[in-house]
Amino acid sequence: MRHITTRKYLPLIAALLLPLVLGACNTIEGVGEDIQAAGSKIDKTAEKEKTY
């Protein structure tokens, strides 16, 4: 009986989790872009301050 109940609610659970998963992807992408921008600024500053 329990297996039938789980199978019955699986599409509902998947539909509820999908927006959370997609939202997390956008958040991770944004964090990656921020880290990349910070790294670029550090690199430019290091190039500018280099004395050799």
Supply the pLDDT for residue 35.
Answer: 92
**Beta-carbon neighbour count of residue 30 at 10 Å?**
10
pLDDT in tens, the chain (52 residues): 556 677 788 899 999 988 888 888 788 888 889 999 999 999 999 998 887 7
Supply the pLDDT for residue 3.
Answer: 61
How many residues are listed for the chain in this entry? Answer: 52
Residue with tokens 């944004």: 30
Supply the pLDDT for residue 40.
Answer: 95
Q: Is the dihedral of CA 27, 33, 38, 43 positive or negative?
A: positive
Supply the pLDDT for residue 7.
Answer: 79
Instruction: Give the residue extent of every domain in the chain.
Output: 18-47
